A and B are shown apart, each in its own frame.
Chain A
Amino acid sequence: MNELAAAIPWLGKRNPTAARWLILIIALVAPVIAWQFGRSWVRILDFALLYMMLAMGLNLVVGFAGLLDLGYIAFYAVGAYTFAFLASPHFDVHLPFWTILPLGAGFAAMAGIMLGFPVLRLRGDYLAIVTLGFGEIVRIFMLNLNYPVNITNGPQGINMIDPINLFGWDLSRNLQIGENFSINSLFLYYYFFLLAVAGSIVFVHRLQISRVGRAWAAMRDDELAAKAIGINTRNMKLLAFSLGATFGGLSGCLFGAFQGFVSPESFSLMESIAVLTMVVFGGMGNIAGALVGAFVLALLPEILRDVAVPLQQTLFGHVLLDPEVLRMLLLSLAMILMMLLRPAGLIPARARYSHDHHLSNKLKQEAAK
């Protein structure tokens, strides 16, 4: 798990063990610190964890397998809507959480394969555009499948979704311990999501160093060569799409249950691009990168909200750029500058399975010749 240690900039390299402990402590204490600034910050952390799962899933597809997916949010939508269908008054079905979770993941994986099959031959930009189209098509269907038969409830979305219920333990209620002790529901969600993220990290890490991970890396760096050494690139691509989608579906389920309301607006192209930016910003092809990218970029708009307005007020006397504009500005600049100056991201992937860096250097040398 040295990968994870890389999330701490300086310590990670010198003393990975210490760095890992530090990460664990930060992860456990974070909501308590956040609580001091207000409950909303715990809520924001909860959402940040969901984004981390999303970023890790997209990282499988983009970073590991090298398939640029601009419609990733569609899988998130599939998960969220699956949960909404099976645990809300909409169809008056209320299945238990543990039943829906695998279903949501399964449907998302199926959607991943459905997308994967036709686009097997496509690469690079073409793939990006077709996946973008896929994401939009899914959103348009979610938006309009309230007619002729009402399936998704259209633009109104689905409300009153059941909260997460772990064997009779309702996470949306504050946990009462004795008379004076109570743990806020947001904490319960936080630690549950944290567990999910930890599980994902372990899984993705095992995957990365497995045959599959190596096959993906080979395919990403040179598809032809990968084929030549006997890698079944078709299966590997489908696997990447479906596994990536599974993570999307899982976090979608959690999102639906946590928010209690889903509607198509939450699954726009902008969200896909936001998740992609997280992966790119953090560093493609590496777990720590995706995690840090998601964490930083999920918190950024909220921090801007608190910092930007008062700061501008004291500096200029009035607000020049409101936080939303500032966020867009920073996001777009992050994308451009990252690609120009530090294409490997905030935390570059380790050289072992990543040849992009070497490759581009080699190309540059060739071009210079």
Chain B
Amino acid sequence: MTPRTVVGVMPARLMDPTAAPDWRLVRLGKGIMETLIQQLINGLVIGSVYALIALGYTMVYGILGLINFAHGDVLMVGALVALQTMTFLMGMAPGMSPLVMLSIALLVAIVVCMLLGFTMERLAYRRLRNAPRLAPLITAIGVSFLLQTIAMIIWGRNYHTYPQLISTTPLQPIEGVFITPVQITIIFGSAALMIGLLLLVNRTKIGRAMRATAENHRVASLMGVDTNAVIAFTFVIGAGLAAVAGVMFASNYGIAHYGMGFMPGLKAFTAAVLGGIGNLGGAMLGGIVLGVVESFGAGYIENLTFGFLNSSYQDIFAFLILGLVLIFRPTGLLGERVSDRA
């Protein structure tokens, strides 16, 4: 790298037509490397959360061919149920150690979300399994809004402060690069869960049943697989993962409210498509790639476009990637490896 930090110039005239034609330099600033690594970490953290949500999407899509729009809102329910539990525990047993409290809250959230996933499948999606394609998708959008509305009724419209039971005091592994214990937990926690899920799908009996169902419902059921149970199980597992993702998300940002799940949900779906929908490994990769692209995009777009575009376009990347992938490489980065499909 050359010592010059100038990567682009922007004519000030464009911003203000009356200005004299002096050329403003757009600088990357001090500590290029630190910034780069920091953006990578930012991307990894948000990417891990996307990946975790994407797994739920991809599992359900792999088996049913259904985009469960409401998946992001399950995340929100998980976060808010955990918040409620923590508030309750703090009132009941103020001396409880934060880690125990968090574990209990997480457990409650997982159970509630699993029940929710099961109910959703049983009441709404199962009956539409053979309906024309638009019907389940529209239903899923409806379920998404229904969950948001119910959450709005239960927890109100305000933003809630989320107790940060894991420390958020930043550590400095490298001079000038910061990471908090919560963020470390998120990265490693998601990785562990993903590996667990891979093992579940590839090494267990139920996993085999899931793969068989994904391959072909009818044949699988002829082979003695209870496909209804398998599909329900898939929803339950996906919802459980979403609950964990929700608690992680809220703990990281210290904030939760009824609409928090929608956008991450959409982005996670993008991640699933990017990786190759129906493919578990792809969902993880897609999540991380999307997180990093968003982070670098917001951080560097101004320099890359010579100041014409700026961070106000950061939400465009997910949709742009989504469109491009679907149009040019519908199988995603990893393609659809049938053996991995769950």
Chain A interface (Cβ within 8 Å of chain B)? 62, 66, 68, 118-119, 121-126, 128-130, 132-134, 136-137, 140, 143-144, 147-149, 273, 276, 280, 284, 321, 325, 328-329, 331-336, 339-340, 343, 356, 359-360, 363-364, 366-367
**Nearest CB of B to A251, in Å:** 22
Tell me the complex Cα distance, A144–B312, Å: 7
**Nearest CB of B to A151, in Å:** 12
CB closest residue in chain B, given A356: B132
**Nearest CB of A to B173, in Å:** 35
A128 — which chain B residues lie within 8 A by C-beta?
Answer: 67, 137
B316 contacts the other chain (CB 8 A): yes
Binds A, one of B42-50, B111-119, B139-147, B164-172: B139-147
CB contact list, B1-59 vs A, under 8 A? 10, 14-15
A130 — which chain B residues lie within 8 A by C-beta?
Answer: 322-323, 326-327
Tell me the complex Cα distance, A136–B10, Å: 27
Q: Is the CB of A137 within 8 A of B133?
A: no
Tell me the complex Cα distance, A27–B133, Å: 35
B133 — which chain A residues lie within 8 A by C-beta?
Answer: 123-125
Tell me the complex Cα distance, A132–B269, Å: 12
A123 — which chain B residues lie within 8 A by C-beta?
Answer: 133
A333 and B130 in contact (CB under 8 A), knowing A129-B269, A328-B148? Answer: no
A366 — which chain B residues lie within 8 A by C-beta?
Answer: 130
**Nearest CB of B to A2, in Å:** 25
CB closest residue in chain B, given A327: B149
Q: Is the CB of B14 within 8 A of A148?
A: yes
Residue B322 contacts which of A133, A143, A331, A343 (CB distance < 8 angstroms)?
A: A133
Q: Is the CB of A129 within 8 A of B142?
A: no
Q: Is the CB of A328 within 8 A of B313?
A: no
Tell me the complex Cα distance, A71–B104, Å: 41
CB closest residue in chain B, given A366: B130
Q: Is the CB of A134 within 8 A of B323?
A: yes
B315 contacts the other chain (CB 8 A): yes
Q: Is the CB of B134 within 8 A of A68?
A: yes
Residue B326 contacts which of A122, A321, A340, A356 (CB distance < 8 angstroms)?
A: A122
CB contact list, B309-327 vs A, under 8 A? 310, 312-313, 315-316, 318-320, 322-323, 326-327
Q: Is the CB of A149 within 8 A of B14?
A: yes
Q: Is the CB of A339 within 8 A of B135?
A: yes
Tell me the complex Cα distance, A340–B149, Å: 20
B152 — which chain A residues lie within 8 A by C-beta?
Answer: 325, 328
A332 and B142 in contact (CB under 8 A), knowing A129-B269, A140-B316, A143-B312? Answer: yes
Residue B130 contacts which of A129, A134, A332, A363 (CB distance < 8 angstroms)?
A: A363
CB closest residue in chain B, given A276: B138
Chain B interface (Cβ within 8 Å of chain A)? 10, 14-15, 65-67, 124, 127-139, 141-146, 148-150, 152-153, 266, 269, 273, 307-308, 310, 312-313, 315-316, 318-320, 322-323, 326-327, 330
Residue B124 contacts which of A62, A68, A148, A340 (CB distance < 8 angstroms)?
A: A340
Known: A136-B316, A276-B141. 17 other contacts (CB 8 A): A129-B67, A129-B273, A130-B323, A133-B320, A133-B322, A134-B319, A134-B323, A143-B312, A148-B15, A148-B307, A328-B148, A331-B145, A333-B142, A336-B139, A340-B139, A363-B131, A367-B130
CB closest residue in chain A, given B277: A126
Tell me the complex Cα distance, A367–B136, Å: 17
A125 and B137 in contact (CB under 8 A), knowing A136-B315, A336-B143, A360-B131? Answer: yes
A367 — which chain B residues lie within 8 A by C-beta?
Answer: 129-130
Q: Is the CB of A118 within 8 A of B139?
A: no
**Nearest CB of A to B249, in Å:** 20
Q: Is the CB of A335 within 8 A of B326?
A: no
Closest 3 CB pairs of A and B: A335-B142, A133-B319, A332-B145
Q: Is the CB of A62 within 8 A of B134?
A: yes
Q: Which of A68, A125, A126, A284 has the most CB of B within 10 A?
A: A125
CB closest residue in chain A, given B145: A332
Q: Is the CB of A335 within 8 A of B67?
A: no
